[in-house]
Structure 1
Amino acid sequence: MILPCLPSMRLDGRRALVTGAGRGIGLAAAAALAQVGAHVTLAARTADEIGAAAQAIEAEGGQAAPLVLDVTDTAAVRTAIGAQPAFDVLVNNAGTNRPRTFLEVTEDDYDTITGLNQRAAYFVAQAVARRMVDAGRGGSIIHVSSQMGHVGGQNRTVYCMTKHGIEGLTKAMAIDLAPHGIRVNSIGPTFIETPLTKPFFENVPFREDVLRRIKLGRLGTVEDLMGAVVFLAGDAAALVTGTSLLVDGGWTAE
């Protein structure tokens, strides 16, 4: 009897780009991909952070390089990605939020959140996908979305709107890019403890409400997302495209 063989989780010889890679989810995604053999380019505006992160990855035997880049600058994105060898994996992670009630959202809030979470994500993905198509070897694009791309959330109208948009983009991109062997999926985390979210949890009623909604009873950690990134990036997910992998502790189960 010949048993089926589990596809390798390794990414040796592949190139990955992670945006917003200096801290939090982006840094964890970069570390995860490097730990399974990928060469990882860490992109962010903060040269010191991504430089230190790349050095830390290399100190552990990985391959990494920093790329100082403002992903909201579409021309700079096209130039920077066009100057790189084609990537096999994109983790489209850069994002932000400014929690406010719907009645208090300003135009600057709206423009800042949509500009990074949606517009920048769109054109980063487009630039990377064009190079993938030119290279002709397929690839995997992973949008870091949110559980809030599937439900609503208090004081998060603009954020929810952008993440629902990313879920629609994921499905439509998957259809367009499937003939090129490029898979497109999203990851939908629950609340993860990162430098961005830490101030929110200092509000005790908010923290208690979040923990009540996460059925597993705890906040997420960046380590909770690393396996999802590696899975979607590699051959084990060869037939997975146009969908969302929710890492939400059961938040959206009801």
Structure 2
Amino acid sequence: MFGLDGRVAIVTGASSGLGTAVAQALASAGARVAVVARRRDRLIEIAERIDGVPIACDLSDLDRVGDIVSEVAETLGPPEIVVNAAGSMFTEERAESEPVDAIRHTMELNLMAPFLLAQNVFPHMRAIGRGSIVNISSISGRVGIPGIPQASYAASKAGLSGLTAELAVQWARHSIRVNTVAPGFFRSEITSPLYESERAAEYLRRNTPLPMQGSADDIVGAVVWLAGDAAAYVTGQTIVVDGGWTAR
């Protein structure tokens, strides 16, 4: 039920953190994986490790998104799994001061790029007769996080859940499933400053019911489950993986 033998997958944001972990997990389950990110040197290393295909692309350049799908289809075959793990915050300003350019950049990378990638893989998935799109969101799209200003980021991640539900309903007749995984805090390149600050680390410990520090490996199980047949009757959902943060 969890095997992905021979299925072609695209993983964005694959040069580090959760994206790398997801690419490795999908490959271990048997998928042929195209890894997508800006840092070509890192992608080449990861692709060699998992016998995948590196595609260097800045997803903020929305005109390039369609090229990714074409290249994957030509080199590996039609994609039937997409994991949109690329995302970032472009400002630490409070909501009343967020620059328009930062808001726009956040929305383009975190919301518009996954939407356009879904549009471009749709014809391939429809032709195959199945597909699974997994968007990586955040608990920031569900709850406010005191002390960490991120209005545009939160809006983009909440938007992913709305997009997920709508695409799931529209494309269900083609057996294309669309879901979202919303991680809580876990240690990565981006969040390492939080864990290196004793005050911030204590804040995370105090607000996470499970007595453990999250890692990317704690998130990938949900993604692999949603990608394959074990979740064949699951679509339109946002699965929260946060150590109990939002259950408080």
TM-score bracket, normalised by the shorter chain, equals over 0.9
State the match for 1:104 in structure 2. Answer: 97
In structure 1, which of residues 45, 48, 52 is the aligned counterpart of residue 45 of structure 2? 52
State the match for 1:82 in structure 2. Answer: 70
Does residue 22 in structure 1 map to residue 30 in structure 2?
A: no
Residues 218-233 of structure 1 correspond to what in structure 2 (within 5 A)? 218-233=212-227
Q: 1-side partners of 2:68 and 2:139: how far apart? A: 31
After superposition, give the CA deviation of every residue in 1:202-232 in whole Å (9 maximum; x if it has no partner). 3433322222111113331011012111100
CA contact 1:33–1:40 (8 Å) conserved in 2: yes
State the match for 1:4 in structure 2. Answer: none
Does residue 72 in structure 1 map to residue 60 in structure 2?
A: yes
In structure 1, which of residues 179, 182, 195 is the aligned counterpart of residue 173 of structure 2? 179
State the match for 1:200 in structure 2. Answer: 194
Q: Structure 1: state its 5+ residue gaps.
A: 1-7, 59-63
Could you say what secondary structure the match of 2:143 adopts? coil
Question: What displacement does 1:148 show?
Answer: 1.4
Moved more, 67-76 or 233-242: 67-76
CA contact 1:147–1:189 (8 Å) conserved in 2: yes
> How many residues align structurally?
241
Residues 83-232 of structure 1 correspond to what in structure 2 (within 5 A)? 83=71, 84=73, 85-97=77-89, 98-133=91-126, 135-154=127-146, 155-232=149-226
Could you say what secondary structure the match of 1:215 adopts? coil
What is the alpha-carbon root mean square deviation over aligned residues? 1.4
**Matched letter for residue 57 of structure 1:** I
CA contact 2:25–2:220 (8 Å) conserved in 1: yes
Q: 2-side partners of 1:19 and 1:91: how far apart? A: 6
What's the TM-score once normalised by structure 2's chain length?
0.92
Could you say what secondary structure the match of 2:106 adopts? helix
Could you say what secondary structure the match of 2:121 adopts? helix
Moved more, 9-18 or 78-87: 78-87
Moved more, 93-102 or 181-190: 93-102
Q: Structure 2: state its 5+ residue gaps.
A: none
**Matched letter for residue 154 of structure 2:** C
Q: 1-side partners of 2:187 and 2:176: how far apart? A: 31
Could you say what secondary structure the match of 1:152 adopts? coil
After superposition, give the CA deviation of every residue in 1:89-132 in whole Å (9 maximum; x if it has no partner). 00011000133322332223212211211111211121122321
Question: What displacement does 1:244 show?
Answer: 1.2
Question: What displacement does 1:147 show?
Answer: 1.2
What's the TM-score once normalised by structure 1's chain length?
0.90
